[in-house]
Amino acid sequence: MAVTDGVLLHLSDPPAAASRTFSGPRRTRASQQAQATKRKYQASGKVPPAKRRNDTPSHPAEKTAEKEMQRTFKGKKAQKVFSPKKSSASAAGRNPEQKPSIKTSSLFKNNPEIPELHRPVVQQVQEKVFSSDAFHDLDLHPHLISTINTVLNMSSMTSVQKQSIPVLLEGRDALVRSQTGSGKTLAYCIPVVQSLQAMKTKIQRSDGPYALVLVPTRELALQSFDTVQKLLKPFTWIVPGVLMGGEKRKSEKARLRKGINILISTPGRLVDHIKSTKNIHFGRIQWLILDEADRILDLGFEKDVTVILNAVNAECQRRQNVLLSATLTEGVARLADISLHNPVSISVVDESHGQSNPKGKAVLEVSAPQAGDELDSFAIPEGLDQHVTLVPSKLRLVSLAAFILQKCKFETDQKMIVFFSTCELVEFHYKLFLQTLLSSPGAPAAGQLPSGSTRLKFLRLHGNMEQEERTAVFQEFSHSKTGVLLCTDVAARGLDLPQVTWIVQYSAPSSPAEYIHRIGRTARIGCHGSSLLILAPSEAEYVNSLASHKINVSEMKMEDILSVLTRDACFKGRRWGHQKPRAAGPQEIREQATVLQTLFEDYVHSSERQVSWAKKGWKRRGVSGEMAVEMEMRGEGKGWRHWASAVPVGEHKGKGGRRP
């Protein structure tokens, strides 16, 4: 296999590959001439005439991509000639001894120019994670303190815990905002457990719920349940329980009938039970907690939350209400208005960064806090290095793959989460990577890997999976030291997945708040972590939008990401043992990227099923068959569109639907 100036000489079935790239077997005279011209330039290694280049696209990037595809795919004929069987055979049966012949892809041509990134440097808002106070400084039950110390292995309080726990123990409502991974879960769980175990009349299981905790996703429900369960170890008479979609309603009803005292639920499933279960009563509710309050509203749960509030209000008027999130939106201010009474607004900002909360004291307000002040900037964990890379749409997929290989194959102990905008995109990339990056020709067995590299492991998590599998994946990734989790925003909020080292945003987030929550899956509780946002050249402006929210990103060059491919024998036809470290030239990088892209293309075209997967995500948007396949491979998802549409960051409301 050989490449000249980004032009791949491919080893697969020549006629099939040729007709896929160009316009099909029955070309017009004009198209034949065009192809001849194209071949001339390809053979000479020169760049085609300016007319064909697209240095400064006048359309949004997506339109440009569609146009490019219209040039390379011409309707059904192309699909017919490029039959799955033929392609499959050629991909699987590729013989390195075969003579190189046909070009299939020219990844590095006709791409928009990558602009210089003029990155404004801003001072990020930062919060001190830990306080100097210990849990035993609080007036808590000694068994609760010893459980925190011995079961949870914690002694010092975080800043948000130091501020929230005493205020909540005083009986006040609160709106709590602190950075991702700063310990908000315990900030509400400890006061709930302390107050319930201290009740004069001992709680009976059959009393039903005393505390109701609403969370946006099932995984977060399980995680919060786990924390509550641990805290309740010495107080066995208080029974926690979880209700969430995907579980059998019948068994949930049975558990409700027996009694659940601390009830953790997703809003949708709780409304289900409110409407259909006789055994659900809120007469004794003392606590109503809305964790990730803004996300609960984003997911379209607002109506459900209203139903729940009405149901609880109908049976009990006096209770403590708490809203928590790392980001506050106007929606939360609205929700605070209707659900909090005379609340305390708790916001942790490090005084050393010149912020408005001197000495880390809670700001007390007598009315519902205005979210406006909080909307402009967000606190970023100190140990988080944020990067951005500008990648033309054609090169997005190989860049992502190269980055995964670089971090998770050539470096040890790396655990990565990659965010996509839809379930279909997750599923597509999961299958693609399993089939290509794990089983590419010549891939070494575990024992043959060069020292300092690990075996790749892919997992995926999205809302279209069966609950059992979702839970298993969540557990597996939680306990794993390495691996790549491909997911939707179902994993963006609240999930505490230990030791995640990299967050990659392949589909751009729909809002700056979503950006904050996604990157917040790493660098938790004072640890270090890194993130990479992949943008199209036309989206470069968004770096300024991030800066306006006091978010600092540094640039990572696409060429540097792609250069790792020259280290990977799988894409060179070389053996692992023969690798000698040396600087790769741009030509070699292009060659390897093209080889990898061809591997992807061959896989996608290798069966009807893959083609239909690739098309799936685009159907609703009226994109036709062949083009959809290519666009899917370029990863042009929903979030990307938001960002490409030049709407300032922050104006998207992120109505993601209920199934991220």
- The conformational region for residue 442 under phi > 0 = left, psi -120 to 50 = alpha, else beta, is left
Least gap, CB of 514 to ligand ATP (angstroms): 12
- Do the Cβ atoms of 91 and 602 come closer than 8 Å? yes
Closest distance to ligand ATP from the beta carbon of 294 (Å): 11
CB under 6 A: which stretch of 151-159, 354-362, 380-388, 571-579 binds ligand ATP? 151-159
Among 62, 127, 496, 601, binds ligand ATP (CB under 6 A): 496
Alpha helix (H) residue ranges in 453-585: 467-479, 512-519, 542-548, 558-562
* Residue closer to ligand ATP (CB basis): 173 or 294: 294
Range in contact with ligand ATP (rule: CB under 6 A) among 10-18, 157-165, 207-215, 600-608: 157-165
CB of 181 or CB of 637, closer to ligand ATP: 181
Instruction: Output the six-digit token pair for 443.
Output: 């891939």
CB of 134 to ligand ATP, least distance (A): 9
- Minimal distance, residue 220 CB to ligand ATP, in Å: 8
* Coil, helix or strand at residue 536: coil
Residue 24 or 520 having the CB closest to ligand ATP: 520
d(CA 58, CA 56): 6
User: Which one, 269 or 518, has the nearer CB to ligand ATP?
Assistant: 518
User: Which sign does the torsion angle of CA 140, 141, 144, 146 carry?
Assistant: positive
* Shortest Å, Cβ 158 to ligand ATP: 5
Nearer to ligand ATP, 74 or 524 (CB): 524
What binding mask, one character per residue, do residues 80-119 give for ligand ATP by CB under 6 A, x or -? Answer: ----------------------------------------
Radius of gyration of the chain (CA): 27
Nearer to ligand ATP, 161 or 414 (CB): 161
Listed in sequence order, the residues at least 6 apart from 549 whose beta carbon sits closer than 8 Å to its beta carbon are: 376, 377, 378, 512, 649, 650
Residues 6+ apart with CB under 8 A from 185: 223, 224, 227, 291, 494, 496
Q: Which residues, including other chains, have CB under 8 Å from residue 649's CB and lie 6 or more apart? A: 511, 512, 515, 542, 545, 546, 548, 549, 643
Residue 369 carries which DSSP code?
P
- CA-CA distance, 320 to 192, in Å (whole number)? 10
Q: Going along 266-422, which residue ranges are E strands?
A: 287-291, 320-325, 344-347, 363-364, 384-390, 415-419
Per-residue DSSP letter, 446 = G
Question: Percentages helix, strand, coil for the chain, rounded to the nearest 5?
Answer: 45, 15, 40
x/- track of binding to ligand ATP for residues 162-191 (CB under 6 A): ------------------xxxxxxx-----
Q: Which of residues 554-613 bind ligand ATP (CB under 6 A)?
A: none
Angle (CA) 491-660-296 rounded to 5° is 80
Q: Does 326 bind ligand ATP (CB under 6 A)?
A: yes
CA within 13 Å, CB half, 463: 18
State the SS3 of 172-235.
Answer: CCEEEECCCCCCHHHHHHHHHHHHHHCCCCCCCHHHCCCEEEECCCHHHHHHHHHHHHHHCCCC
User: Bridge-partner residues for 262, per DSSP?
Assistant: 211, 240
Q: Which is nearer to ligand ATP, 156 or 464 (CB)?
A: 156
The amino acid present at 162, given as its one-letter code, is: K
C-beta of 463: minimal distance to ligand ATP in Å?
A: 19
Number of residues that bind ligand ATP (CB under 6 A): 18
Smallest gap from residue 517 Cβ to ligand ATP (A): 7
Smaller CB distance to ligand ATP: residue 329 or 538? 329
Provide the minimum distance between the beta carbon of 380 and ligand ATP in the complex, in angstroms, as a whole number. 12
Residue closer to ligand ATP by CB (options 157, 270) is 157
- The contact mask relative to ligand ATP for 502-541 (x = CB under 6 A, - = no) is ------------------x---xx----------------
Based on CB atoms, which residue is closest to ligand ATP, 174 or 400? Answer: 174
Least gap, CB of 494 to ligand ATP (angstroms): 4
When binding is defined by CB under 6 A, the residue of 16, 78, 125, 157 that contacts ligand ATP is 157
Locate tokens 């011409």: which residue? 74
- Between strands 287-291 and 211-214, the pairing is parallel
Nearest distance, CB of residue 503 and ligand ATP, angstroms: 12
Stretch of 154-162, 467-475, 482-490, 583-591 contacting ligand ATP, by CB under 6 A: 154-162
Q: Which amino acid makes up residue 197?
A: Q
Q: What is the footprint of ligand ATP within residues 186-225 (CB under 6 A)?
A: 186
**Applying CB under 6 A, which residues contact ligand ATP?**
154, 156-158, 161, 180-186, 326, 494, 496, 520, 524-525
